[in-house]
Structure 1
Amino acid sequence: MEMLSRIAAPMVNQSDLPFRLLVQRYGATLAYTQMLNSDALLNDQDYLEFHLRDLTTEASSTERPVVVQLCGNDIKTIVRAGKKIQNYCQGIDLNLGCPQQSTLEGHFGAYLLGQKDWPLVEGIVSAMHNSFTVPVSTKLRLCEPALKTLDLGQRLEACGASWLTLHARTVSARRRRHGAADLSQVKRLKDNLRMPVVSNGNVRVWDDLEENLRYTGADGLMVGETLLGNPCLFANQVSDPVTISLEYITICREYPETATLATTTAHVKHFIDFQCHRRPWYNKFRTSLGACKTLDDIERLLRVKVEKWRGRAPRIVDADVDDDDFAEGNQPGEVVEDFGSLFSE
């Protein structure tokens, strides 16, 4: 059960290998891939090779467990896709929670939660359970009405799901987080299901983690967008934004072609935004970041311009010098204990 205790959620174009490794350095016990399209895994060779490269790197191991999340609505397609990746992960999850427009148009994700589709969902989960060599799980949102969620959960349990994650909000393509998550529904599942239940929602700071577990009794917590800003959340830390950005870029270099430049740029934006979005220089940073064409460009922006804007000495370093040899600024991995100073620059 330890694997399920602190989980990094599946996030579209943001659950790349370098980010998963980063959050696992800081306390995540399990990380999900982004939602992978089952049909594309079978019919798009470039798509398959990219995601297999992500999963087959030496960093992907039982010491850094990963669950692959699949989406789709065809039993045979999902089973065939899962068999292509089951040897490179510790579990396979069926996405029943994505609210995006593309999932509405394709009729999968959270749009399979209507009761008319329950037989299909049961067929998919049962086939996954009977076909794969790794455990099968499901991540879902609330059914409508919400009380029906337990009924579906019991059906999924009967079909062979090993655990269930509930993002306790109803689906909305336009407003993904409309209102607070209804954690009472997570508690209801935990009180009535035999399989482990993971709670997802309403976590912004460390204290939210403890309060969520205390109230719901869940076996674990899944966190998504909050980790994008603070990947050290599970370690009860807030890292210096430039330091954590450089650490992420270093991992990207160690595992090339597992994160696109667009993904890397998005992560760096989130790291800086989390603590510095109200600084007068933030718009200049966004413009400069958008103009970066390489990892070197992003690193130079962080080391020189961002540090200058923050009133700090540039982190200049020769190509042959390791990050540990820096004389200026915080060292990679260093935790900023004086949180107040971060918000008063």
Structure 2
Amino acid sequence: MTVTDHLSTIAAPMVNQSDLPFRRLVRRYGTSLAYTQMLLPERLLSDQDYLEFHLRDLGSESDRPVVVQLCGNDPQLVVEAGKKVQGACDAIGVWALDLNLGCPQEAARDAHYGAYLLGQKDWPLVESIVSAMSHSFTVPVSTKIRLCQPVSATLDFAQRLEAAGSAWLALHARTVSARRRRQGAADLEQVKRLKENLTIPVVSNGNVRTWEDVENNRAYTEADGIMVGEILLANPCLFANETPDPVLISLEYLELCREHPGAATLQTVQTHVRHFVDHRCGRRPWFNKFRVALNNCRTVDDIDHLLRLKVQRWRGLEPLAPDAQGSDESTETSDYEDGRDGPEDAMSALSLLE
């Protein structure tokens, strides 16, 4: 099998949130392919600590297939950085390199990369980068883009990327905005248009909040895969059509962090746990108190203790023993035990939707 055989359900690259423990977590619940966060070529080449941190356990047996995402506007620099990563993972298995042409953040604008290379004046530069990558690596090269201005130009750009050697293309069907990344609904008609006109696989990114949205998106666009970003942070079980208990899924993530010490920073771990709990409990009276307590944690064990004892108590549930991983009974009775929390949880979930 090749990496293009794994495009069905994809965890998008997310800044400081696409860590190895999280990638492993979402794989357990229906994710077929995961991306690393966007990596900076110049730092991969000049900062040994940065390189070693992002290579840690990359492409291990439990983290396949994985796509390493690069950004940049210098073909030689991107290729040299890609070779650094490729060399560390060459014998591991199915993975790929991706050029990010969709990042809307202000840092991308200031350094002129990501979505700020979508303008037609930069198309020759982008084509040269993709071509250089596709001819330099032994693994596939893909691209992730947003809509061009005008939107009708997106197909032309995508066809140029295909001709330059992109093995597949992911389209986040919104135009670029640094301050409002998800302004308005994604234009899935443009994804459908790419699918009808390209010969390479097309991945649809946008307008997904629930499993039903995944199915509807696929049915309408006929895309080869559906990519989801921030909604997976709230519900890492989305692709399994499940809504997990927030404490139990947090503890499962912490256990993966213990299996891969140092693969995620403490701040990253705290952010993941906050998202998990916010998804179901963000409107509870105690949630702000939980956020303060979480920010005061100094280790993974501190977070574990907070979840098993205080959060359970705040939810009106029995504490979980230190060696407990949860049970079917605790999951069944967790948030709906007394019938009071269902509407609150629904509103909490809505508050996180893109």
Same fold? TM cut 0.5: yes
User: In the alignment, is the contact (CA less than 8 A) between 1:167 and 1:199 conserved in 2?
Assistant: yes
Distance 1:22 1:59 in 2: 10
**Shift in Å, 1:72:** 0.7
Residue 38 of structure 2 is matched in structure 1 by 35
Partner deviation per Cα, 1:213-239 (whole Å, 9 max, x = no partner) = 111010000000000000000001111
* C-alpha distance in 1 between matches for 2:50 and 2:123: 29
* Aligned counterpart in structure 1 of residue 18 of structure 2, from 6, 15, 37: 15
Identity %: 64
Question: Which residue does the alignment assign to 2:71?
Answer: 71
Question: CA 1:284/1:202 → structure 2, altered by over 3 Å: closer, same or farther?
Answer: same
State the AA in 1 paired with 2:37.
Q
Is the Cα–Cα contact under 8 Å of residues 251 and 325 in structure 2 kept in the other structure? no
Following the alignment from structure 1 to structure 2, what is the Cα–Cα distance between the partners of residues 276 and 252? Answer: 23
- Partners in 2 of 1:210 and 1:337 — Cα distance? 27
From 20, 23, 27, give the equivalent of 1:24: 27
SS in 2 for 1:323: coil
SS at match of 2:169: strand
Within a 5 Å distance, the mapping from 1:1-345 to structure 2 comes to 1-55=4-58, 57-60=60-63, 64-87=64-87, 88=89, 90-317=95-322, 321=323, 323=325, 329-330=330-331, 343=342
Separation in 1 of the partners of 2:26 and 2:335?
17
Unaligned runs of 5+ in 1: none
- Decide whether aligned partners of structure 1 residues 196 and 257 sit closer, same or farther in structure 2, where only a CA change above 3 A counts: same
Answer whether contact 1:8 1:28 (CA < 8 A) is retained. Answer: yes
In 1, the alpha carbon distance for the partners of 2:86 and 2:173 equals 28
Residue aligned with 1:195, SS? coil
Offset of residue 322 of structure 1? 5.5
Structure 2, gaps ≥5 residues long: 345-354
In the superposition, relative to structure 1, how do residues 57 and 341 fare at CA in structure 2: closer, same or farther (>3 Å)? farther
Distance 1:342 1:271, change over 3 A: farther
Q: Structure 1's 341 and 241: CA in aligned 2 closer, same or farther, altered over 3 A? A: farther
Any idea what the Cα deviations from partners look like across 1:208-264, whole Å, max 9, x if unmatched? 001001110100000000000000000011110000000000000001110000000
Runs of 4+ aligned structure 1 residues displaced above 6 Å come to 334-338
Q: Cα deviations across residues 136-172 of structure 1 (Å, max 9, x unaligned)? A: 0000000000110000000000011000000000000
- Distance, in Å, in 2 between the alignment partners of 1:231 and 1:240 is 11
CA contact (8 A) 2:317 2:334 kept: no
Instruction: State the SS of the aligned residue for 2:56.
Output: helix
Post-superposition Cα deviations, 1:3-53, rounded to whole Å, max 9, x if no partner, equal 000000000000000000000000000000000001100000100010111
Q: Is the 8 A contact 1:238 1:336 kept in 2?
A: no
Q: From the superposition, tell whether residues 280 and 182 of structure 1 become closer, same or farther in structure 2 (CA, over 3 Å).
A: same
Q: How many residues align?
A: 335
Q: CA deviation at 1:86?
A: 1.8
Amino acid at match of 2:21: P
Q: TM-score, normalised by structure 2?
A: 0.90
Listed one character per residue, the Cα deviations across residues 270-291 of structure 1 (whole Å, up to 9, x for unaligned) are: 0001111111111111111111
Deviation at 1:344?
A: 5.0
In 1, Cα distance between the equivalents of 2:213 and 2:119? 30
Query: Which amino acid is 1:82 matched to?
Result: G
**Aligned mates of 2:171, 2:103 — CA distance in 1:** 12
- Distance between the aligned counterparts of 2:193 and 2:308, measured in 1? 49
| 2-structure distance, mates of 1:207, 1:328 | 27
Distance 1:335 1:166, change over 3 A: farther
**Do the aligned partners of 1:313 and 1:328 also contact (CA within 8 Å) in 2?**
no
Q: For 1:141 and 1:272, locate their aligned partners in 2 and report how far apart those are by CA, in whole Å.
A: 31
Question: Contact between 1:315 and 1:329, CA under 8 Å: does it hold in 2?
Answer: no
Q: Could you say what secondary structure the match of 1:329 adopts?
A: helix
Q: 2:130, 2:141 within 8 Å by CA — same for their partners in 1?
A: yes
Q: Return the letter of the residue paired with 2:252.
A: E
Aligned equivalents of 2:99 and 2:162: distance in 1?
A: 13
Q: Distance in 2 between matches of 1:68 and 1:14?
A: 14
In angstroms, what is the RMSD of aligned CA positions? 2.1
Q: Using structure 1 for the length normalisation, give the TM-score.
A: 0.93
